Amino acid sequence: MSFDPVVLKTRLETEEGRRSHIYTDTVGKVTGGIGRNLSDVGFSDDEIDLMLRNDVKRAVEFLNTHFTWWASLDDVRQSVLVDMAFNMGASLLEFHATLAAIQNSNWHAAHDGMLNSTWAHQVGRRAQYLAQVMLTGKF
């Protein structure tokens, strides 16, 4: 078997299209990328890891853009904010009082603000765990 992978890639991209968002194809399969049948094929472990690395990078970039002070936090509390940004995206910006409490190292108020939110009700134990980590600075 001998074929030019560049020619094949070009042809498949032309035939299938290149889509950055999920769509339903002509036979009802959930699809994305260059014709990836997500209904039947899904993702391999290395693809999942790549997406996770990209999503964490995106969350860190979001925090760097919106909160210049976050990098001065200890590693444990930084990881909580990355987790929250990963989960919520731009909705994290709505946590005005909680973010102010974190910026001012008021861990009790940050803890309480995290738990007194719609997000906490949506994610349940995740919020309880992250609020406790924010409070104590320990995993």
Output the average pLDDT for the chain: 97
Is pLDDT of 1 > 90? no
3 state DSSP class of 1:
coil
Token pair 């472990």 is found at 45
Count the neighbouring beta carbons within 10 Å of the beta carbon of residue 66. 13
Residue 101 has what pLDDT?
98
State percent of the chain over pLDDT 70: 99
Domains of the chain with CATH codes: 5-37 (no CATH), 45-136 (1.10.530.40)
| pLDDT tens-digit series, residues 37-52 | 999 999 999 999 999 9
CA 41 to each of CA 44, 47, 55, 111: distance values in angstroms, whole numbers, following the listed order: 9, 12, 21, 41
- Encode pLDDT of 68-106 as tens digits: 999 999 999 999 999 999 999 999 999 999 999 999 999
Mean pLDDT to the nearest integer, 5-31: 96
Whether 35 has a pLDDT exceeding 80, the answer reads yes
Averaged over 17-42, what is the pLDDT? 96
Q: What is the pTM of this model?
A: 0.90
pLDDT at 72: 97
| Both structure tokens of 47 | 């693809």
